[in-house]
A = this chain, B = another copy of it.
Amino acid sequence: MFGDFKINERRPTYLQLKEYLKRQILNGILQSGERLPSTRELATILQLGRNTVILAYQDLEEEGFIYTVRGQGSFVAEVTVKQGETTSLSWPAMLTPQAVSASQLDIEKTELKWERGMLSFKSIAPDGGLFETEDFKKAFLDRFTLEGEKLLNYGYAKGYKPLLEYLINYLKNKGVDPEGKDLIITNGFTEGLNLVLAGICQPGDGIVTENPTHNTALKIMKLRKLKIFGIRMEEEGLNLKQLAETLSTQAVKAGFLIPSYHNPTGLVMSPEKRIEVLKLFSRYQVPIIEDGFNEELRYSGSHVAPLLALSGKGNNVVYIGSFSKILFPGLRIGWVMGDADLIAALESIKRSMNIHTTFLDQALLYEYLQNGSFEKYLRRARNLYRQRHQAAVRLASELIPHQRIWGEGGLHIFVELAEGINARQVLAECYRRGVLFMPGDLFYTDGGGKNTFRLGIARVTEEQMARGFALIGQVISEFEEVKDA
């Protein structure tokens, strides 16, 4: 007895002893009514300080696992752990169709996985090596010292007030008129889009998107059973004629657009086109959901205002923002800005979903933004990513036989192969040779894009790109030879 008690360095010993004894009781090894060794005896047996044993016994008594009889010692209490028969339900059969679809559309489950030693261009997550953790630590210490207790208790669904104010100001600096609008903090872009869609779209409703578009957005729309109308992305961006036709002939509840550094093509919608797009949606009184994705990652050219700014005093644009794509995705903080009536409804939906987003993270992000650390980081990140992006475009153009290399910014480029080359077959072969990327069809609304793929470049060096792209190019050449033969 007690021979199997082992100590782990990182946890207080008395807790380990308490938990060990609990399990002995719950497993019936120490039985109810049984007398425990005295604290002195047990300390000797286990070679622990007597105080350790005393603390463990105190806690066990406090939690109702043992009781003390004065002058006689400590005894195991009556603890019910007995179960009736074992009940086995078939959970897969109980799942809702929505739950089944969520698994089927979950690319973490369905797509090829990175394995140790592989070179991956799959992710567009930022390079953690750029994170200035010392600045973040400072932000924590400054902010937590100021109001730690408050941050650890309940907050508000709309968000942490200084962050709300900061973000409204931040959007004013992009030319947004905040009059009549409001802002809510969300658990990243993904929750933001879910909230907006829950607010205004029901199953069967129509939604207009770019084709291709952000695959997670597409997944969310499919899970919400929306009818998706994809508008072709061409060399000059969105095909306005198709957009006008769709808006005039279809019942459309909303548009979802990524005007800057579009995912996956990397295109930036020109100011003139932005104005045209706004006019078209206005004519049909259809609101636009604008994904502000990677807007900070401009590498060249003039500032282009978001649609939310260009809509001026209008209330027809809902903007979803997030710093996650370039700064701290682990924190999961995004926001939605739009008409105040809409935001008020989203606040109630958010409260019903998860009460509010963590106040600690909101406060730390606020401090980090407010004290200038973000701008400092952004300058470094932008420079590095600009270099990687330029190198990626150059290397891909050289090494990968292509019809077109897309991409004006962001953390990825998009490759369009010659018609008839299947990117999934190319991927399967590259994977065998240790290189991974994202097949392009995932981004298409209509099953198209079979000859496309996306290359994420945030976490790879130029040398890795050269090596990986050369391999991809080699595999494609082999496919082309077969095709031509």
Interface residue stretch chosen among A35-43, A88-96, A233-241, A242-250: A88-96
Per the bound structure, the CA–CA distance linking A344 and B168 in Å amounts to: 38
Q: With A and B bound together, what is the CA distance between A354 and B142 in angstroms?
A: 28
Nearest B residue to A79 via CB reads B303
Assembled-state Cα–Cα distance A19/B77 (Å): 67
Q: Counting CB contacts under 8 A, is A479 at the interface? A: no
Cβ-defined contact, B345 with A198, below 8 A: no
Interface contact B96-A201, CB-CB below 8 Å = yes
Contact with B along A56-100 (1 / 0, CB 8 A): 000100111100000000000111111111111101101111111
Interface size class of A (residues with CB under 8 A): 35 or more
A92 to B346, CA, bound (A): 12
Contacts of A31 in B (CB 8 A): none
Is B187 a contact of A314 with CB atoms below 8 Å? no
Partner of A356, one of B174, B186, B332, B346: B332
Looking at the complex, which one of B96, B201, B281, B371 makes contact with A11 (CB distance below 8 Å)? Answer: B371
A329 within 8 A of B: yes
Binds B, one of A111-119, A153-161, A206-214, A470-478: A153-161
A125 touches B99 (CB 8 A): no
Whole-angstrom distance between the Cβ of A360 and the nearest chain B Cβ: 6
**A285 CB to closest chain B CB, in angstroms?**
6
Of the listed stretches A126-134, A390-398, A460-468, chain B binds: A126-134
A150 nearest CB neighbor, chain B only: B128
A-B contact pairs, 30 of them (CB 8 A): A23-B173, A62-B382, A80-B271, A80-B304, A83-B278, A86-B312, A87-B278, A87-B311, A91-B345, A94-B342, A95-B199, A96-B200, A98-B198, A99-B346, A103-B345, A105-B352, A106-B351, A106-B352, A108-B157, A108-B351, A131-B148, A131-B153, A137-B145, A137-B148, A153-B328, A153-B329, A188-B354, A188-B355, A190-B352, A223-B352
Which residues does A use to contact B, with CB under 8 Å?
Answer: 10-12, 15, 19, 22-23, 26, 59, 62-65, 77-89, 91-92, 94-100, 102-103, 105-106, 108-109, 123, 125-126, 128-129, 131, 133, 136-137, 140-141, 144-145, 148-155, 157, 169, 172-175, 186-188, 190-191, 194, 198-202, 216, 219-220, 223, 253, 271, 274-275, 278-279, 281-282, 285, 287, 298, 301-305, 309-316, 328-332, 339, 341-342, 344-349, 351-361, 364, 370-372, 375, 379, 382
